[in-house]
Structure 1
Amino acid sequence: MLDDLDQIMAVMATAFDPAWGEAWNRRQVEDALTLGNCHYFLVSPEGKPLTEGEIAAGFSLSRTGYEEEELLLLAVDPQFRRKGLGRSILDALRFAAGARGAKRLLLEMRRGNSAESLYATFGFYAIGERKDYYRTPNGERIDALTFACDID
């Protein structure tokens, strides 16, 4: 039986293209979760919260700050994409973040990330840009884009 961290890492291994160097390693996830203000959510292939004995199809990792919650990672296993799981994860995050007192969600991603369309349909809007912020494993520099979404 996989524990939650194993589930996160299994999805991470399939969901992130190594060409971009965006996947976190196990230690980074563990360290984030020990801070006390980081939260995760695991989703089943049916888009429901994961129950014992199921294999995760996706997850989110977020960090709570004063009246804001930052989405650090969102991933869906490629075999389960285009089935609304990303939206299910974002819905769960919005609800949980609101319950923790957040008034808006934040996220940052590299320019050209295909997930941008998902975030736009969810209500995220651009609030900033960092030139040449990301560096790919081959040394290419890519801008970071920052987005926000108000929690009603």
Structure 2
Amino acid sequence: MKDDLDRIMDVMDAAFDPAWAEAWNRRQVSDSLALPHTHYLLAGPDGEPLAEEGDAAGFALTRFAPGEEELLLIGVRPHLRGKGIGRALLARAFTEARGRGAERMFLEMRDNNPAASLYRSMGFEPIGRRKAYYRLPSGQFLDAITFGRDL
């Protein structure tokens, strides 16, 4: 039987294109989840919280710090994108972050990430840019954009 780490890694392997080198490996995810302020959500194919059994359609990893939450990663299986799963995960992440006392949520992404439209539609706004922050396997550099949203 798969555990939640297996489910996260299954989605990670499907959702993140290796050309961008954004996926975390199992050890990175496991080490992150061992920290007391890192949280995860799993979604089923309709965006609902995943039941005990079955494969995850998507996941989100967040980290809480006093007054704020950071979205570390979010992924949805490619064949299920556009069905509201990412929106559902973000909405649940907002609710849970508020429950932990967060007043703002932040995320950072590469400049050309198509998920920017999802983030903007969910109330995130760009608040900063780091020039040439991400180095791709090809050797190319891309800016990082930081987004923030009040909760």
Question: What TM-score comes out, normalization by structure 2 length?
Answer: 0.99
Residues 129-149 of structure 1 show CA distances to partners (whole Å, capped at 9, x for unaligned) of 000000001111000000001
Give distance in 1, aligned partners of 2:14 and 2:87.
19
Which digits, 9 at most, give the CA deviation of each residue in 1:13-41, with x for residues without a partner?
A: 00000000000000000110111110000
Aligned to 1:75: 75
Q: What is the CA–CA distance in structure 2 between the aligned matches of 1:86 and 1:33, rounded to whole Å?
A: 20
Q: Which runs of 4+ in 1 moved over 3 A?
A: none
Q: Distance in 1 between matches of 2:115 and 2:96?
A: 21
* 2:7 maps to amino acid: Q
CA distance in 2, matches of 1:88, 1:80: 13
Give the TM-score, by structure 1 length: 0.98
Which residue pairs with 1:11 in the alignment? 11
Number of equivalences:
151
Gaps of 5+ in 1: none
Aligned residue in 2 for 1:41 = 41
- RMSD (Å) for aligned C-alpha atoms: 0.5
Instruction: Provide the residue aligned with 1:113 in structure 2.
Output: 113
Q: Distance in 2 between matches of 1:120 and 1:46?
A: 22
Partner Cα distance (1:80, 1:126) in 2 = 26
Q: Percent identity?
A: 56
What letter is aligned with 1:3? D
